A = this chain, B = another copy of it.
């Protein structure tokens, strides 16, 4: 019942009167082995219950067939969808996936990166923590020719693969969608401005207003720390204490948007007639809240799959050159009841 009854190619070699090299080759269907011996050996291995030790193989061949993932928190729907995509496409190709959560702490992200490096992952997919402003801890990978893919929350100046959406344009069309519904004073729930995703959304928002000659009222643009449910309600409350409250809200995520809807309804404010709302991400809650939340479709699963693909393609290439290669996936407005006003025809 204790360990140590574990079979190695050594044991097979002895039992079958072959050398370990032949065994090793046979098990991998190396072409230089005759079909007959290959079959013989494979059958014997099967029977004896031989199991390869990937640790040894990884060490020897300097290839762990493992992808490291660094994200904020798995519990967020966007993140878990993304990881689902990463894992599915990685496993298909025989790769393992090690996950690590930063819980949006810079220090955790740094120590996780260390751990992943020490585990000799052969590629890393990362989405930055809220706190991260410096990305030197990813240099260790690049320096060793290990591909780095940043996804969604990407840094500004890091030569690597990027898998993103066009946050600027997505925000622009979200804002324009509200304008089309007749909104004149639109509030924006912005996130941490040192993260690209949120600063781009803010920019897109402002540009859309400008383009439509709408006034930009700084009081309606709120930089939020976490875009949490609590913060959403709180900020909404503040906004509606203004003499001149907004008639539309574009939130950088769905959580805060849903929170705003629930708060406003409780105040007897009608959605979308008094205030039209649009969120970002298409989390499950967005289609459940009433009125259903309009939002921006965010291709989480696809982004995960593409990230894995970038890693694997890089590993196949001979020249491990690290260029910046940016893949931008499509988004679109999902138009639901929270923003669509009955047109008076």
Contact = CB atoms under 8 A, between A and B. Distances in A.
Given A99-B99, A101-B87, A288-B285, A3 B119 contact: no
A129 to B, nearest CB: 14
Interface residues of A, number: 57
Contact of A80 (B52, B64, B80): B80
Interface stretch (A54-62, A174-182, A194-202, A207-215): A54-62
A1 interface: yes
Contacts of A299: none
Q: How many copies does the complex hold?
A: 2
B115 A96 contact: yes
B83 A99 contact: yes
A309 B117 CA distance: 25
Of A75, A143, A320, the most chain B CB neighbours within 10 A belong to A75
Interface string A184-205: 0000000000000000000000
A53 B118 contact: yes
A239 B144 CA distance: 62
Interface string A101-116: 1010000000010110
A119 B144 contact: no
Interface in A100-149: 100-101, 103, 112, 114-115, 117-120, 140, 143-145
Nearest to A116: B96
Interface of A: 1-3, 5-6, 51-56, 58-59, 62, 64, 66, 73-75, 77, 79-81, 83-84, 87-88, 91, 94, 96-101, 103, 112, 114-115, 117-120, 140, 143-145, 258, 262, 283-285, 288-290, 320, 322
20 contacts: A1-B320, A1-B322, A51-B117, A51-B118, A55-B119, A59-B59, A66-B98, A74-B80, A74-B84, A83-B99, A87-B101, A88-B101, A96-B98, A97-B98, A97-B99, A258-B288, A262-B288, A284-B284, A284-B285, A288-B288
